[in-house]
Structure 1
Amino acid sequence: MAGIADAAPTGQQIADERAIRRRGITLFLLTLTYFFSYMDRQILAILLELIKADLKVSDTQLGLLTGLAFAIFYAGLGIPVARLADRSNRRNIITWSLAIWSAMTAMCGLAQNFAQLLIARIGVGIGEAGSSPPSHSIIADLYPAEKRAGAMGIYALGVVLGSGFGTMIGGWLAHLYGWRIAIIAVGIPGLLLAVVVRLFVVEPRRGLSETKPVSDEARPSLTQGFASLWSNHAARHLVIAVTLTSLIGYALTAWAPSYYQRSFGLTLPQIALILAPILAIVGSISGVVGGKLADRYGKRHGIHAQSWLVAILKTIAFPFALALYIVPNVHVALICYGIALLFQNSYLGPTFALIQGLAPLKLRALWAAITLLVINLIGLGLGPTMIGVLSDLYRPAMGAESLRFALLTMAGVTPWAIWHYWRAGVHLRNAANMPAPAQKAVA
């Protein structure tokens, strides 16, 4: 009996213990990678006016650079990368992706015309396609359901911190040395981070955080993956909700520096010192606290409360988001921006945690990739592009304020997203109240 009790742990048990022990550093490095992803992606926002003047391009062309041209390749490659991540080493995929997009970001600074810059941006999109789906899958395996929204909320810090620091660093470097040096300077450090990720991120066993044993059934096909997500009512509403939210968010974020430059006359250093810290600090507080609140309310009231919490917070933020593009005073506009951001930026952690919790274990990376495909084709692809087109269309009537009214139009889409978050909560609550066989059928 003593021999059995004192039996040495198996190799798998040792690996599992190591993965759990190092999940904090893994989450930190995945968040840092996501930070670089958004910094490299969003730095173009602070540089748009300089690029417009240097390369003689229209708002529509700028919208293509920040939106559709990047998103088509970023989103389109997400599915095959996710299929690869569902069957191979996710850490290595993230490492190579990080190295590729960092190198292509630096190449953007060498572009001499619109076509060259467009090709380099496509390269950034190709590289970044391999980051989020495997990262979501790793986090879901390292953190159990009751802690997953908080972990995803921390991971989502990469969005606001990357966007904020991209604006801050890009603004100052562009002011001092020009837009080309600014974009090269943020691309190169990612190559060093890729080495660190390869050395220190752990590759956990799939299903490590699950209390139920992982099935040995054959991996479902891509078609079955799409069908399984779409047939899940809660997941379908969550995907639509986060897509609409991203459509609005990508559009407003991409054009925010230009808005403050055109409508309020702020300089690049002023935007770097004022707008970027608000985005980084307030956005981070919103993301972390929102994820923690989602975990708490989900544990207390049921998982559906996480979706309803997002709907409530976005409803509070909505009037301030509209006021941002109506008020004529820059100080009032910045206050409205901070309040809106505080309440509306908490959606990513709970949303992706819910989707990962609903996904079959062997389809987690694929469900994440499908979600990101829709988000990025519609949100990232169309959002900034639509603002550029609307701004050009509004210019004959609105003149210099055409961008303001284009942004206000986009902000008005928010209630549609709120409705889908509410419906997702309804389906999650109904599924939780069903008997086990019926619940399985709905899922």
Structure 2
Amino acid sequence: MSIKSENGDILAPNSQRVFVFLMFFVCLFDFADRAVFAVLAQTIKTELLLTDLQLGLLQGLAFAFLYSMLGLPLARVAERKSRVTIMAVCTAVWSAATLFCGFATSFSHLAIGRIGVGVGEAGFIPTVNSMVGDRFKRNQRASVMGLIMLGTPAGILTGSLVGGYFAEAFDWRYAFYILGAAGLIVALVVYIVIREPSRGLADGSPPSLSPPPDFPAFLKALRSKPSLMLIIAGGSTAGFGMTSISQFLAVFLARTYDMPVREAAVFYGFTSAAFLTIGLMIGSFGTDFLAKRDERWPAWGAAIGLTIAPFFYFAAFNVHNIFLATILLIIAGSMLLIFYAPTSGMIQNLLQPRMRATGAAMFAMLYTMIGSGLGPTFIGGVSDLMATVAFDGDFHASCPGGVALAGANASAAAACLEASALGIQRALNVAVCIFFAAALLYFLASRKIRDDFYTEGKSETVAV
């Protein structure tokens, strides 16, 4: 099928493949810039003498606050203006901020860089969701989003390997320089190559010059669809546990198994890439296939995966064999990630074309604030608390940066390392319990979803 774009060009199959390919690379650098900080967190903590709470803030609220606040305004712009331009500019902003992180010499410098990364990345989710909704039919959207979101495991693997290599061979700062510069190149290519699609043609809607529904109309439509509210709430809740794990998994591996940064980065990168790929593919293609028989399967699939995942995480965080832990982490992560692509697809399918960017941004805002913002911050705080409880004495005074003071004896050094490892292990065990609540929200959404789907010609609650 071919679709006409707003400027009159034809979006033929080749153009569709180019779009998916380039959006994959944008997604890759989106997550590479996050992963490189995660794998270098222990090295940065030691060099700059940070606490786990400060690491959590850098990976959480510093990144998430403006990300979540800017997502909706950018989405409203995307309903009216060129989404391609927004995508290119945002990619350039977060890449420049990543490059800036390489020059940081303090917590405050890193916080500024991480805020910049969040500002740029706020534009990715609403714009890519909106363009996918206009380019592809309803029963293809989860699958296409799954293909684009394969940039997530590829990006995490890229960020992990680049970060681990440069931290051990040269200096951790070079990893930020290289990824930031490469992202700037991708931003330029997106701006030159991708064309803006017409809004609504994949649903059979004629091009419209009328303004999109205003934000109060979006909120009214949101309130009229109980399944949509439950899906956004479920995905945001799942994001709390998922982001907590992803941002501290490399730290957990380094501490628990006494790994050097490069080895921990390799385990983190390949483990994350494996479960992200498996989970995204099962969640996108599997639920799209099953939805042909019953349209509730995307919600059911998410609920099932989120119910199974915690049990494998509990096992993975409490075994003492790295290879068994890796297998368990891959199974757990695969079950967890089933929810992600169907969530994007369901949000698109429940909203009319000129509300989709706003719907994706609403999900991204809550997912980021609850997941990326509160999750890592919560884990960092709980980890510090648990380490303090496990340590015989004043942990923060005796173990700045999680390691013993210079000149301390071997037993003191071992006590610091053991308390740090126990702290992060116990914090992660707490975090995964949130998946049960997320599973319940998706199950409740499945009971209403068939009544709420958007169909061309169906009466919608909007006001223009």
* Counterpart in the other structure of 1:163: 156
Alignment equivalent of 2:134, drawn from 141, 162, 180: 141
Aligned length: 430
C-alpha displacement at 1:42, in angstroms? 2.4
Q: 2:436 aligns with which of 412, 415, 432?
A: 415
1:170–1:207 Cα change, 3 Å: same
Contact 2:43-2:261 within 8 A present in 1 as well: no
- Is the CA contact 1:104–1:121 (under 8 Å) kept in the aligned structure 2? yes
* CA pair 152-10 structure 1, distance change in 2 beyond 3 A: closer
Residues in 2 aligned to 1:392 and 1:123: alpha-carbon distance in whole angstroms: 27
Aligned to 1:382: 374
Match for residue 403 of structure 1?
A: 424
Equivalent positions of 1:19-34 (< 5 A) are 21-34=14-27
Q: Is the 8 A contact 1:26 1:201 kept in 2?
A: yes
Q: CA deviation at 1:88?
A: 0.7
**Alpha-carbon displacement from aligned partner over 1:27-59 (angstroms, at most 9, x marks no partner):** 111121011011112211111111111111111
Query: 1:185, CA displacement in angstroms?
Result: 1.6
Seen in structure 2, the aligned counterparts of structure 1 residues 212 and 11 have a Cα distance that, compared at 3 Å, is closer
42, 50, 67: which one aligns with 1:57: 50
- Superposition pairs of residues 116-135 of structure 1, within 5 angstroms: 116-135=109-128
**Residue 75 of structure 1 contacts residue 372 of structure 1 at CA under 8 Å; is this kept in 2?**
yes
Change (3 A) 1:225 1:11: closer
Alpha-carbon distance in 2 for matches of 1:13, 1:114: 46
* C-alpha distance 405-122 of structure 1, shift in aligned 2 (>3 A): same
Q: Match of 2:347, as an amino acid?
A: I
Higher helix share: 1
Structure 1: gaps spanning 5 or more residues: 1-8
Aligned twin of 2:320: 328
Partners of 1:123 and 1:11 in 2: how far apart?
35
The residue type paired with residue 308 of structure 1 is W
- Decide whether the 8 Å contact of 2:126 with 2:360 is kept in 1: yes
Query: How many Å separate the matches in 2 of 1:380 and 1:333?
Result: 24
Amino acid at match of 1:376: T
Quote the Cα distance in structure 2 between the aligned partners of 1:440 and 1:127: 32
Match of 1:355 among 347, 353, 370: 347
Contact 2:71 2:364 in 1 (8 A): yes
* Residue 78 (str. 1) matches residue 99 (str. 2): no
Query: Hey, what does 2:38 align to over in structure 1?
Result: 45
User: For the Cα contact (< 8 Å) 1:156–1:348, is it kept in 2?
Assistant: no
Using the TM superposition, give the Cα deviation of residue 316 of structure 1 relative to its aligned residue in structure 2, in angstroms: 2.8
Cα–Cα, structure 1 residues 270 and 214, in superposed 2: closer, same or farther, change >3 Å? same
User: Could you give the per-residue CA deviations for residues 85-144 of structure 1, whole angstroms, max 9, x where no partner exists?
Assistant: 110110011111111111110110101111111111111111111222111100111110
Q: Deviations for 1:205-261, whole angstroms, at most 9, x for unmatched residues?
A: 001210355677652222332332243111111001110111111110000011011
CA distance in 2, matches of 1:405, 1:412: 12
AA partner of residue 356 (structure 1): Q
- State percent identity of aligned pairs: 32
User: Kindly tell me: are residues 230 and 163 of structure 1, through their superposed partners in 2, closer, same or farther at Cα, counting changes over 3 Å?
Assistant: farther
1:426 aligns with 2:428: no
How far 1:16 sits from its partner (Å)? Answer: 5.8
Structure 1 residue matching 2:363: 3-state secondary structure: helix
Per-residue CA deviation, residues 346-403 of structure 1 (Å, 9 max, x unaligned), is: 2211110000111122111111111111111111000111000111111222333011
Aligned to 1:4: none
Q: 1:338 to 1:12 in 2, by over 3 A?
A: closer
For residue 178 of structure 1, the aligned residue among 171, 179, 201 is: 171
Q: Secondary structure at the match of 2:10?
A: helix
The SS at the match of 2:259 is: coil
Among residues 336, 340, 348, which one is paired with 1:344 in the alignment? Answer: 336
CA distance in 1, matches of 2:62, 2:227: 31
Equivalent residue letter for 1:15: G
Match of 2:219 in 1: 226
Contact 1:66/1:385, CA 8 A, preserved across alignment: yes
Report if the CA contact (8 A) 1:168-1:271 is conserved: no
Query: Cα–Cα, structure 1 residues 227 and 392, in superposed 2: closer, same or farther, change >3 Å?
Result: farther
* Residues in 1 aligned to 2:451 and 2:6: alpha-carbon distance in whole angstroms: 37
Q: 2:359 aligns with which of 362, 367, 370?
A: 367
Distance in structure 2 (CA, Å) of the matches to 1:196 and 1:218: 29
When normalised by structure 2's length, the TM-score is 0.88
Q: Residue 20 and residue 364 in structure 1: after superposition, are their counterparts in 2 closer, same or farther (change >3 A)?
A: farther
Change (3 A) 1:69 1:273: closer
- CA–CA distance in structure 2, aligned partners of residues 12 and 149 of structure 1: 22
Q: Is the alpha carbon distance of 1:270 and 1:207 closer, same or farther for their aligned partners in structure 2, counting shifts above 3 Å?
A: same
User: 2:3·2:12 contact (CA, 8 Å) conserved in 1?
Assistant: no
Which structure 2 residue ranges, 5 or more long, are not aligned?
A: 391-418
